């Protein structure tokens, strides 16, 4: 019996501002052991690959061209994530997220950014010299960034909802664990 290959092109969804993660996870959950998937994306989607790794999928990326990646996955139960993305591969994705400091700490406004830019903006900011020494980051968002929680936990940060701000924005506080 040959294995079917499920192929999903995430590029049009991301271009339209639709988060493909829930659909990919739903599709992946239906597949049996040994099943294969192929994803096409405009970048190496490490957060998505980590979610799928927790479901038993091993993955490896292949950069086909500027803004064109193929991610191969197999449900082998091991959940290996090979080929961490080079920060330069995401450097060309402008986030346009305003950043400022006040008495409460460092802030980033993620409202209006298409997916996956909010997650990329936060992860990029926390890895930048601009945030060094900060143990708190306020996120101003329009929705709950549910897939950001495990990504932040993996790098030692905890994200908590803190209510609504002006104009219906949702506020979240990311803090370094142990601070």
- pLDDT value, residue 2: 44
Q: Is residue 41 part of a domain?
A: yes
**pLDDT above 50: residue 92:** no
What angle is formed at CA 149 by the lines to CA 47 and CA 30, rounded to 5 degrees? Answer: 55
Helix (H, G, I), strand (E, B) or coil at 39: strand
Asked if residue 75 and residue 57 are part of one domain, the reply reads yes
pLDDT-wise least confident of 14-18, 66-70, 100-104, 113-117 = 113-117
The reply to whether 101 and 70 lie within a common domain is no
Residue 89 lies in a domain: no
Domain that holds residue 21: 5-84
3-state helix, strand, coil in the chain (%, to 5): 30, 35, 40
Query: What distance separates the 2 farthest-apart alpha carbons in the chain?
Result: 63
pTM of the model: 0.62
Question: What total of structural domains would you count in the chain?
Answer: 2
Q: Is residue 49 domain-resident?
A: yes
Final residue before a domain boundary, out of 55, 84, 113: 84
Report yes or no: 59 and 92 within 8 Å, Cβ to Cβ. Answer: no
Give a yes or no: residue 46 inside a domain. Answer: yes
Q: How far apart are the first and last CA of the chain?
A: 54
Same domain, 76 and 50: yes
Q: Return the CATH number at 123.
A: 3.30.110.40
């Amino acid at each position: 019996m040959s294995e079917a290959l499920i192929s999903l092109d995430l590029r049009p969804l991301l271009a339209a501002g639709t988060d493909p993660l829930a659909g990919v996870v739903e599709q992946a959950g239906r597949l049996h052991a040994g099943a294969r998937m192929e994803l096409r994306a405009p970048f190496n989607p490490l957060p998505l690959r980590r979610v799928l790794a927790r479901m038993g999928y091993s993955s490896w990326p292949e950069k086909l061209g500027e803004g064109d990646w193929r991610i191969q996955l197999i449900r082998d139960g091991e959940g290996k994530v090979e080929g961490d993305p080079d920060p330069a591969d995401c450097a060309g994705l402008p986030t346009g997220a305003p950043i400022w400091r006040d008495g409460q700490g460092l802030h980033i406004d993620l409202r209006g950014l298409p997916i996956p830019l909010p997650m990329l903006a936060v992860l990029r900011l926390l890895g930048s010299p601009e945030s060094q020494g900060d143990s708190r980051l306020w996120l101003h968002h329009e929705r709950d960034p549910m897939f950001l929680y495990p990504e932040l936990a993996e790098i030692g940060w905890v994200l908590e909802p803190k209510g609504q701000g002006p104009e219906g924005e949702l506020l979240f506080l990311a803090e370094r664990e142990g601070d």
